Amino acid sequence: MPDRLALTLFNGRAGDHNDRAMAGGPLLAAELADRLDLEPVTIGSPEPALNTDWETELAAAMPALRQLTARCEDVQAAGQVPVTALSRCAVALATIPVVVQHHPDARVVWFDPHADLNTPATTTELKQRWKCLRRIRLCPSRIGDIVAAGIVLSTLQRGNY
């Protein structure tokens, strides 16, 4: 299986409200690279957090998010299995449409450093997030809409309206 794995590090702007999360992705990617004997492909480069409204954050993040979508498409087209290290949940929304396009029955395994093992059925906050996301078609051409939803929800959650 390791020869089918494709390791990606997303290290670009992603609507961060401070610069602390940026350190996590490279550390995780380095550990995965060592354990899996893989060289990661890096998308984006660290930039200072903007900590501003979602429209500005999304516009600034879109170039790197589109690169991540293209990388995910290349990995899927090559028949590889993606392993992605990233710093923000919203970034994963750039990968899911491609995976679903290639594997409509795919399931996502999400390793999150927070102790918030919830489902949309058990948490009011998550119910609201999923209610918003259900209305968005999962196709790569709509990546801006999908990521916008993630950034808006994250921005609302931390109180920056």
Whether the pLDDT of residue 68 is over 90: the answer is yes
Q: Answer whether 129's CB lies under 8 Å from 90's CB.
A: no
Residue 105 backbone zone (phi > 0: left; psi -120 to 50: alpha; other: beta)? alpha
Whether the pLDDT of residue 156 is over 80: the answer is no
Question: In a 10 Å sphere around its CB, with 0-12 CB exposed, 13-18 middle and 19+ buried, how is residue 18 labelled?
Answer: exposed
CA distance 145 to 154: 14
CA distances from 14 to 11, 79, 94, 98 (A): 9, 27, 11, 19
Q: How far apart are the first and last CA of the chain?
A: 44
User: What pTM did the predictor assign?
Assistant: 0.69
The percent of residues above 90 in pLDDT, for the chain, comes to: 23
Tokens 């790197």: give the residue. Answer: 64
Dig out the tokens for 10 from the structure: 């997303």
Mean pLDDT of 65-74: 94
- More confident call, 70 vs 137: 70
Q: How many CB atoms lie within 10 A of CB 107?
A: 6
Helix residue ranges per DSSP H, 47-116 = 54-77, 89-92, 96-102
What pLDDT score was predicted for residue 41?
97
Distance of CA 118 to the CA centre of its chain: 18
Whether the pLDDT of residue 91 is over 90: the answer is no
Whether the pLDDT of residue 148 is over 80: the answer is no
Highest mean pLDDT among 36-40, 47-51, 86-90, 111-115: 36-40
What pLDDT score was predicted for residue 115?
46
